[in-house]
């Protein structure tokens, strides 16, 4: 029997908080580092906090890179990267020297050193939808009826993704520079913010993700 949502446990990330948010939505989500369990999931969530190279090396040491790539590229099943997890979907980062998963083309950049610009970017920030918006699809559910636009999410990061293809950008936010707050290409999704810390705005994204289907 397949698992609706599996949260990849590679030793770095708010895995319990994400699972709890799915549970509040009535969605069965399992935390696992077992390749067999992850391979059976309908959808994968790749969370993450911390350094790029640490994330890459933890994934590699647990033999999970192939599982994640097969899920997204071969099985065409939905994959959501959150914060560092979104950055790991890309090819490389200015934060380290290890290659990323390479599921999306582009690099991860550090916020510029500008007078008065606080890094890390931490706190609530509004986003602007710019492209495909599966994660932000408005709902008529009572639980989301009072959400106003523009949407606002909770961020904690010192680096941001710079997609090679601008059509991969689903939403932007501004902190010194305008950056990709969310990405979407086919069955691959990313959120630079933390939906598990973004109250009903985050619940909206996770609920929409829980209903995505394989391509």
Q: Measured between alpha carbons, how far is 7 from 5 in angstroms, rounded to an integer?
A: 7
Does the CA dihedral 190-88-102-9 come out positive or negative? negative
Report phi then psi at 7, rounded to 5: -100, 120
- Asked if pLDDT for residue 144 goes beyond 70, the answer is no
Residue 128 clears pLDDT 60, i.e. is over it? yes
Pick the more confident residue, 71 or 117.
71
Per-residue confidence band for 66, with pLDDT thresholds at 50, 70 and 90: very high
Q: Residue ranges per domain, the chain?
A: 5-210
Looking at residue 1, what is its pLDDT?
66
Residue 42 CB-half CA count within 13 A:
14
Mean pLDDT for the stretch of residues 97-113: 96
Of the candidates 155, 137, 167, the one whose C-alpha atom is nearest the C-alpha of residue 49 is 155
Is the separation of the CB atoms in 169 and 183 below 8 Å? yes
Which pLDDT tens digit goes with each residue over 151-198? 999 999 999 999 999 999 999 999 999 999 999 999 999 999 999 999
Write out pLDDT tens, residues 14-58: 899 999 999 999 999 999 999 999 999 999 999 999 999 999 999
Query: At the topology level of CATH, where does 5-210 sit?
Result: Rossmann fold (3.40.50)
Specify the pLDDT at position 142.
58
Q: Is the pLDDT of residue 147 over 90?
A: no
Closest Cα to residue 56, out of 82, 30, 80, 92? Answer: 92
- DSSP class of 111: P
Claim: this prediction has a pTM higher than 0.75? yes
Report yes or no: 104 and 188 within 8 Å, Cβ to Cβ.
Answer: yes
203 against 149, higher pLDDT: 203
Instruction: Report yes or no: 109 and 163 within 8 Å, Cβ to Cβ.
Output: no
Annotated active-site positions, please? 83, 194, 196
């Amino acid at each position: 029997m397949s698992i609706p949502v599996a949260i990849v446990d590679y030793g770095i990330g708010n895995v319990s908080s994400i699972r709890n948010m799915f549970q509040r939505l009535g969605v069965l989500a399992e935390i696992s580092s077992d390749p067999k369990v992850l391979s059976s999931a309908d959808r994968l969530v790749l969370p993450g906090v911390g350094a790029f190279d640490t994330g890459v090396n933890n994934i590699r040491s647990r033999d999970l890179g192939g599982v994640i790539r097969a899920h997204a590229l071969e099985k065409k099943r939905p994959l959501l990267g959150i914060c560092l997890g979104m950055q790991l979907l890309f090819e490389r980062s200015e934060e380290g020297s290890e290659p990323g998963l390479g599921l999306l083309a582009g690099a991860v950049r550090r916020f510029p050193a500008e007078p008065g610009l606080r890094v890390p970017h931490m706190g609530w920030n509004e986003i602007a939808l710019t492209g495909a918006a599966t994660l932000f699809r408005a709902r008529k559910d009572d639980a989301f009826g009072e959400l106003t636009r523009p949407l606002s999410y909770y961020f904690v990061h010192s680096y941001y993704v710079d997609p090679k293809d601008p059509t991969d950008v689903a939403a932007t936010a501004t902190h010194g520079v305008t950056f990709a707050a969310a990405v979407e290409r086919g069955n691959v999704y990313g959120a630079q913010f933390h939906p598990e810390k973004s109250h009903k705005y985050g619940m909206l994204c996770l609920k929409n993700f829980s209903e995505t289907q394989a391509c």
